[in-house]
Amino acid sequence: MGTDTAAVTDIRPFTVEVPGADLDDLRERLGRTRRPRELPGQGWDRGAPLPFLRGLAEYWRTGFDWRRRERELNALPQFTADIGGQTVHFAHVRSPEPDATPLLLNHGWPNSLVEFLPLIGHLTDPRAHGADPARAFHVVVPSAPGFGFSAAPSATGWSVARTAGLWARLMRALGYERYGVQGGDLGAYVAPAVAEADPDRVTGVYITAGIGFPTEADVPGMTPDELAHYERMRQWSTGGLDHHALLRRGPQTFDYGWADSPVALLGWMAHKFQEFHVSQGVFTDVIDRDLFLANVSLYWFTRTAGTSSWPMYDTEDSPWPAGQRHVPTGVYSGPPGIRRLAELRNDVVHWPEHNPGRHHFVTMESPGPYAADLRAFFAEVG
């Protein structure tokens, strides 16, 4: 298939520098929040519980240190570039190991570059983490269009395939003739699309989880165990807040609240991170509170809660990721997908069943085990 020939131009260093006035404004808005009445129900039955969100908002106002997270972001070499008229932001962290494997990381929704802050060091400098330095990676982490510091699509019709085409051209511009691709959540759609856009240069696609999900079309050929699994999946997918439906129909309406009220944004993000929590308790039990707030803050300062909604509002339905057959595929954790179904559309060579993980955004929770399994997959595919 090959990549688009449009040039990558104007690559320039980028530094995160949130003005002090924006920090003061955030704290002032948090301090005068007009809170709603609490609705009847238990726990998260009606959404983010008032006591939980009140405490989290107060910590965001008085305890969270954005400048510390800003320094952590700026410790990564960051850049912006123009690719076919689209301005994109990315981090490019080269390993101290000269023969490291190039790797493209694709974040999810509603997440950002922050998703990979705990992981990058494990990948670029495995020696420092007690792992084999021969399995190091040069890491490229772009911000998807409309997310963080990447420009938003200026018109409707943006797609995962267009995003994948940008990343294929970016990797070529950075001088990488062969590279691996990773992705989870939104990245589980983008990563296979990069392989479709650039099959001659991608060595393998590694997905956190997200292929082999059963659908109605698969029902006639399912075994009893698979049918039971399908029913559990249906209950899970219909029991939460359907952000696909909401953002397909009204992202501009909701964005008035997200852009104007930090607590509205915080409540939305907390609700989704809680739904993406797959064990008992609260998501902040497994994901560092400051890391979560760094992601929320990035959305707040860049006003990208609405612009990052294009994966929903530019689609008419919400199919599960199908994957691709151009290059080998591996996953960090097979369930809740079914391997037999995944293999109908993918060359699956790596499908562990019991890797640790209690949250959808597992790189924020278990970066060490995740890095180890990712290294194992790319050791298999070369």
CATH number at residue 95: 3.40.50.1820
How many domains does one find in the chain?
Answer: 1
CA dihedral 329, 335, 338, 342 (to 10 degrees): -20
Closest to 210 measured CA to CA, from 237, 250, 228, 231: 237
Host domain of residue 326:
8-381
Higher pLDDT, 247 or 316: 247
For residue 371, what is the enclosing H or E element? helix 367-381
pLDDT of res. 237: 66
Q: How far apart are CA 201 and CA 195, in angstroms?
A: 8
C-alpha closest to that of 88 among 156, 21, 6, 152: 152
Count of C-beta atoms within a 10 Å radius of residue 233? 17
pLDDT of 32 strictly over 70: yes
- Whether 352 is in a domain gets the answer yes
Predicted confidence (pLDDT) per residue in 7-18, tens digit: 898 999 999 999
Note the pLDDT tens digit of each residue in 326-335. Answer: 999 999 998 8
* Domain-embedded: residue 184: yes
Q: Is residue 235 part of a domain?
A: yes
Residue 3, in any domain of the structure: no
Pull the structure tokens for residue 372: 């180890």
Cα separation, 272 vs 83, whole angstroms: 31
Q: Is the peptide bond before 98 cis (omega within 30 degrees of 0)?
A: no
Residue at 96 is within a domain: yes
Which pLDDT score is estimated for 233? 77
CA distance 131 to 140: 20
| pLDDT for 3 | 47
More confident residue, 284 or 382: 284
- Domain-embedded: residue 2: no
Task: List, in sequence order, every residue forming a beta bridge with 206; answer none if it has no partner.
Answer: 182, 330
- The answer to whether residue 319 is domain-embedded is yes
pTM of the model: 0.95
Question: Does some domain include residue 261?
Answer: yes
pLDDT in tens, 211-250: 998 888 888 888 988 888 888 777 766 668 889 899 999 9
Look at the alpha carbons of 285, 288, 290, 293 in this order and tell me if their dihedral is positive or negative: negative
CA distances (Å), origin 237, targets 233, 273, 319: 6, 15, 12
